[in-house]
Amino acid sequence: MAIDLSKVAYRLTLVPPDGRQITVDHLILSASLETLPQELAARLNVQLKNVKLKDGWIHQHVYLAKRLILQATDGSGWKEVFRGAVYRWKTNASDHTIEITAYDPLFPLQQSKEHWYFGSGETGASSIKKIAEKAGVPVGRIDGPTVKLAKKPYSNGSLGDIIADRLEESEKKGAGRFLVRSTQGSLEVVKEGSNETIYVLDDHFVEDSADEHSIENLVTRVKIYGNEGNEGRALLKAVKDGNTKFGIIQEVLYSDSYESVSEAQKAADEMLKEKGKPKIERSLNGPDIPWIRRGDKVEVKTGTIGGRYIVEGISRDISSLRMSLNLRGD
């Protein structure tokens, strides 16, 4: 799909407690919008000129826990791309500026801790909906995952980590990869790569890209030892091999650290799954397309990167209208 990059623009609006909407994009000195791979919530950082209006200085209209809205356009109308609350603000007297940090409504889930117990047959979708509703987060579109999971307790974990675990368990059972994100103030769960519009990012668009492949931290064999044995020697209980075409790079686990040898073997399998293949990191920089979101599929044709990829993270420089994408193979 084509987009006129020359018409891309952003509009920032403060929403104080009285419900008014104060447009402040003309006061922006710098602004960035980030959705990082390991974080549940999107973050907006803004530096504004702290000027005096008819009814007070700009900082007097910025309230902790109150809303601000970021909209974007490509010439075809304004659309909301971020809705969040102010979590930090700071004025600087020397240059008459104010710095604001805002997060979308998923931030409380990212920060809060709770005990949870899910019974047998609960799905990832129902689990996440329950967590959100109990935390007071509005729930929107939930596409899945709908595979039934085993019973599982969670002790004093962050709600974000619990959600991530429910999605990971669902993926292991064949449900595919889903992600949680916020849209117009509501939590939604969507399948990765389910976006209808797939942008093609080629050499005419991409300003710079990086394609890094590494086996520096590779593990291809895991040995499981018990502590008992003759003359204090550890007894070998099991050996798990992964892909050894890059050589034998070995890690050791001890069965006494687990409930059984079987549990230790499962841990070895997880280690080989995580560390048993080359680590690939791909990224690119180019003009901002406001409509690309984390979890979207894009087609890339630049440098040594070619194919369809999932966007794992996005950093946007609102001031310069540039974006950086972290990619994962589809």
pLDDT one-digit tens code per residue, 124-151: 999 999 999 999 999 999 999 999 988 9
* Measured CA distances, 203 to 1, 199, 207, 315 (Å): 16, 13, 7, 20
Asked if residues 292 and 311 have their Cβ atoms less than 8 Å apart, the reply is yes
- Residue 16 backbone phi and psi in degrees, to 5: -70, 175
Both tokens of 20, joined, read 């008014």
- Strand-strand pairing, 221-226 and 250-254: parallel
**If pLDDT is split at 50, 70 and 90, which confidence band does 330 have?**
low
Span between the terminal Cα atoms of the chain, in Å: 19
- Tell me: the pLDDT tens digits for 281-291? 999 999 999 99
pLDDT at 233 over 80: no
**If pLDDT is split at 50, 70 and 90, which confidence band does 41 have?**
very high
**If pLDDT is split at 50, 70 and 90, which confidence band does 207 have?**
very high
Both tokens of 224, joined, read 């499981």
Rg, Å, the chain Cα set = 24
DSSP character at residue 249: -
Amino acid 263 reads E
The span from the CA of 326 to the CA of 301, in Å, is 15
pLDDT at 97 over 90: yes
Is pLDDT larger for residue 54 or for residue 186?
A: 186
Torsion angle in degrees (nearest 10) through CA of 262, 265, 267, 271: -170
The span from the CA of 330 to the CA of 306, in Å, is 11
- Tell me: the pLDDT tens digits for 162-177? 999 999 989 988 899 9
Residue where the block lists tokens 């952003």: 10
pTM score = 0.87
